[in-house]
Amino acid sequence: MIKGVHFVRKVRKGKPVRWYVYAYRGGPCVLTSVGPQKPKLGPTELGQIAEAIKDRTAPDPTKFVSLIRAWRSENPDRPSSPEWEALSPNTKKTWGSALKRIEEKFGDLPISVFNDPRMKAKLVVWRNTLRDRPRAADIAITVLRALLKFGELNGKVHRNVATGIPSLYGGGDRAEIIWTEDDLKAFTKKAHELGLAVVADGLRLAAATGLRREDLVTLTQEHVDEFAIVKKARKRSGPRRRRRFATIPRVPELDDLLVELGSRPRQQGISTILVDAEGASWTPDRLTKAIAKIRDELGIVYHDPETGEARKKHLHDARGTYATRLMVHTDLEDKEIADIMGWAPEEVTTIRKVYVDQTAVVVAIGQRIGRGAVNRNCKPE
C-alpha cells in the first residue's frame, strides 16, 4: 500500500457502507466503493495516486525552481530538456553543482523578478560573495546565463539579466601556458621512478595529439589512420551543439609513442590506447588527478612574465605543446593550426612568438656570436 493514501468510511443508517479513497489527505478521490470491507486498490487506482503525488510535489510554476526543474528534471519519469541532455557528462557534473547553488539562492523567487533589469546588479552582488572562489563564481554565472536562455526560449522570461557580467577568474587566458619539452622529460622521469609510467602516458599522448581529456581516454586504435587521428569529439561545440569530428595530423613523436602504448597490459575487452596500472580505461577525472599529483610533486608551474605569478600547468595545456610541434614539424600556417585546435589564430600566434620564433631567434644569435668568435680567432697572418 502506498504510504499516505487516505481511506474514508461512510456509514448511514439503513444504507450500505460506502468507502472513499483519496490519493492523500486533502487530495483527489481515486476510488469510491460500496461494501463492508476496506477496498483494495488496483493498477488504475495506484497509477492515479502516483500521478496525484507527483503533481503535489511539483514545484510552483510561478517560482524560479520550476524553470530549473524544466531544464534539468529530477523526476525519473520525466526527461530533462534537450538543451540539458546535449551537455557532456562532465559538464552536467560541473553545472549540476552550480545549479544546486543557484536553486538555494533564487529557487523560491518568482520567475518574474528576472525580467527586471535591476536584477543584474543583484546577480553581481551575489557573484561577489563567491570572490574567494572566482572559478566557482564564474561557473555559477555561466550556468545561470544558460538557464535564463532556456527560459527565454520557452517564454518564461523576456530578458537574460546574466549576460554581460564579467568573469572574476583570471586563469581563463592560458594561451601562453604549455608543457615544455623539459617539463615532459622531468614528468616522465618522475613517473617512471614512482612506478606510474601509465600516468605519463596520458600527458605524452596529449602533447602528441592535442586531444582534450575526454577524447584522450576514449581514443582507440580504430581512430588512428596513416596520416591523422580522426575521432568524433566527445565535447559538443558550435551554435547547434554538435559533436564534431576531430582530425589531428600525426607528428613524428606520435608514431613511436603509439607502439609503446600498444604494449601496455590490458584487461580483456579494453580497447582504449590509454590504460591505467590495472589495464583498465582511465576516466577523465582520474587521469587529471593522477597527472596533477606528479606535477605538484615536481613543482611544475608557469611564471607569468608580467606579474611573476606562478600558475600550475594543467593537462589541457598540453594542447599548446602539440600546437608548437605542428609549428616546428609542419609548414602549416597559424590559421590552419587554429582550425585544427579549435582556437583563434591570435592564440596560435602568441604561442609561436613565445615558444617557437623566440627560440629560433636566440639560437640564430648564438650561432652568429659563435661564428664571430671563430672569425676573430682566425685572423690572417
Mean pLDDT of residues grouped by 10 in the chain (381 residues)?
A: 81 90 83 90 87 72 92 84 89 92 94 96 95 90 96 95 87 77 96 96 95 92 85 56 66 88 95 96 96 96 82 92 89 88 81 71 51 51 48
* pLDDT value for 359: 52
Domain-wise residue ranges, the chain: 6-57, 64-172, 182-316
Rounded Cα gap, residues 381 and 378, in angstroms: 9
DSSP state of 372: H
Q: With left for phi above 0 and alpha for psi between -120 and 50, is residue 77 left, alpha or beta?
A: alpha
C-alpha cell at 134: 572566482
Residue type present at position 8: V
What is the distance between the alpha carbons of residues 211 and 91, in angstroms, rounded to a whole number? 17
Residue-level pLDDT at 52: 76
Instruction: Give the torsion sign (CA, 13, 17, 22, 24).
Output: positive
Helices (H), the chain: 43-57, 64-71, 82-85, 89-106, 119-128, 134-153, 181-193, 197-209, 213-216, 252-262, 284-298, 318-329, 334-341, 345-351, 358-377
The residues with which 338 forms a beta bridge, in sequence order, are none
Residue 351 has a pLDDT of 84
CATH of 182-316, one of 1.10.443.10, 3.30.9.10, 3.90.110.10, 3.40.50.800: 1.10.443.10
The answer, as to whether pTM is greater than 0.75, is no
SS3 205: helix
